[in-house]
Amino acid sequence: MVSESDIKHQVREFYDHIGWQEASNGFYQNASYEDLRPVAHDYIHNCHLRVMRHLNPTGHLLLDAGSGPIQYPEYLVYSKGYQHRVCADISIVALQEARKRIGHHGLFIVCDVANLPFKSNTFDGMVSLHTIHHLPPDEHIRAYQELYRTLASSGKGVIVNGWDNPPLTIFMNFWIGLVERLYVLFLAQPKVVDRGKESSPADNQTTSRSTYVRKHNAAWLHKEVGSLMPVKIWCWRSLSVRFLRTFIHERFAGRWLLKILYWKEERFPHFLGKYGQYPLIALSKYK
């Protein structure tokens, strides 16, 4: 049995030595989980900016819990109207890289999201993107509580983590599997598909290119976290990177398909947030 401190140690080692090392073209290894193709650029960009709608635009301190190196340009926008961005991460490499990006605008603290070393009611804004799923399962609720505790009474925060096998992904995986089988039958060897952020390695299992991940579903969030604090689910992105890489291509009207997808997500944000791949969980202490 792997202990909680072993899991955190593995995760930190992974990000220090692999995840936040440059892999190619100036991108970190972690960016291999994202769809960085030009065809998906506008869609991914607009999805990143959805976070802004649920934050106070200005304030004193914005907490970025599990900041990593603040790897995408859109992330910089979240703290533009704030005096300081407090980057909290267990990976020292993440924070060294983040400091290169934001310099004096940042305060950099090596710490654990489930045990934040900050007073209650401190932050006017908070983001925590793709981080809580790396914690040992017993500490997920505590991490939500810590993020909520440290949020100011007028503060607003956003948490993004993929769901564990949501219905839309299960449905789409059927079609992806079909396309992959046809590809093998008629064309060539199967392409290596990087399942990236949406993959769910078995608990406690890691490979040299991934680390510990444990995800939940919307029912879990409502029951375990919704009973402790008000949470509202919106859509961050409804389809997996694996889906985008399989079905979205420049020569098959990919840009237009993504415009339609974005429009659908805007029309049905709660439904697609709950049943699609990536919810945006909005937190605030006031109604």
Please report, as residue ranges, which positions from 15 to 74 form the binding site for ligand SAM (by CB under 6 A).
Answer: 15, 30, 66-68, 71
**Maximum distance among all alpha carbons in the chain?**
61
Tokens of 130: 């793709």
Which region, judged by CB under 6 A, interacts with ligand SAM, from 39-47, 123-131, 174-182, 262-270?
123-131
Q: Which residues pair with 86 in a beta bridge?
A: 63, 107
* Least distance from ligand SAM to the Cβ atom of residue 245, Å: 18
DSSP string for residues in 103-125:
GGGEEEEE-BTTB--S-TT-EEE
Q: Which residues pair with 65 in a beta bridge?
A: 88
**Does 97 help bind ligand SAM (rule: CB under 6 A)?**
no
Are 64 and 78 a contacting pair, CB within 8 Å? yes
Q: Which residue is nearest to ligand SAM (CB)?
A: 68
* Least distance from ligand SAM to the Cβ atom of residue 194, Å: 14
Query: Counting every residue, how long is the chain?
Result: 287
**Does 281 help bind ligand SAM (rule: CB under 6 A)?**
no
Q: d(Cα 93, Cα 148) in Å, to the nearest integer? A: 26
Q: What angle do CA 127, 129, 135 make, to 5 degrees?
A: 110
Q: Which lies closer to ligand SAM via its Cβ, residue 254 or residue 283?
A: 283
Find tokens 């109604």 and name the residue.
287
Binding mask 133-162 for ligand SAM (x = CB under 6 A): -xx---------------------------
Q: Which lies closer to ligand SAM via its Cβ, residue 135 or residue 283?
A: 135
Which region, judged by CB under 6 A, interacts with ligand SAM, from 40-48, 53-61, 124-132, 179-187?
124-132
Pairing mode of beta strands 59-65, 27-28:
unpaired
Question: Which residues make Cβ contacts (< 8 Å) with residue 181, sequence separation at least 6?
Answer: none
DSSP state of 194: -
DSSP state of 42: H
Which region, judged by CB under 6 A, interacts with ligand SAM, from 53-61, 126-134, 200-208, 274-282?
126-134
Which region, judged by CB under 6 A, interacts with ligand SAM, from 51-59, 127-135, 181-189, 232-240?
127-135
Among 63, 98, 129, 159, binds ligand SAM (CB under 6 A): 129
Among 63, 98, 113, 239, binds ligand SAM (CB under 6 A): 113
Tokens of 21: 């090392």
Which region, judged by CB under 6 A, interacts with ligand SAM, from 89-97, 187-195, 224-232, 256-264?
89-97
* Least distance from ligand SAM to the Cβ atom of residue 162, Å: 10
Q: d(Cα 139, Cα 66) in Å, to the nearest integer? A: 15
Neighbouring C-beta atoms of residue 151, cutoff 10 Å: 23
Per CB under 6 A, residues contacting ligand SAM are 8, 11, 15, 30, 66-68, 71, 89-91, 94, 112-114, 129-131, 134-135
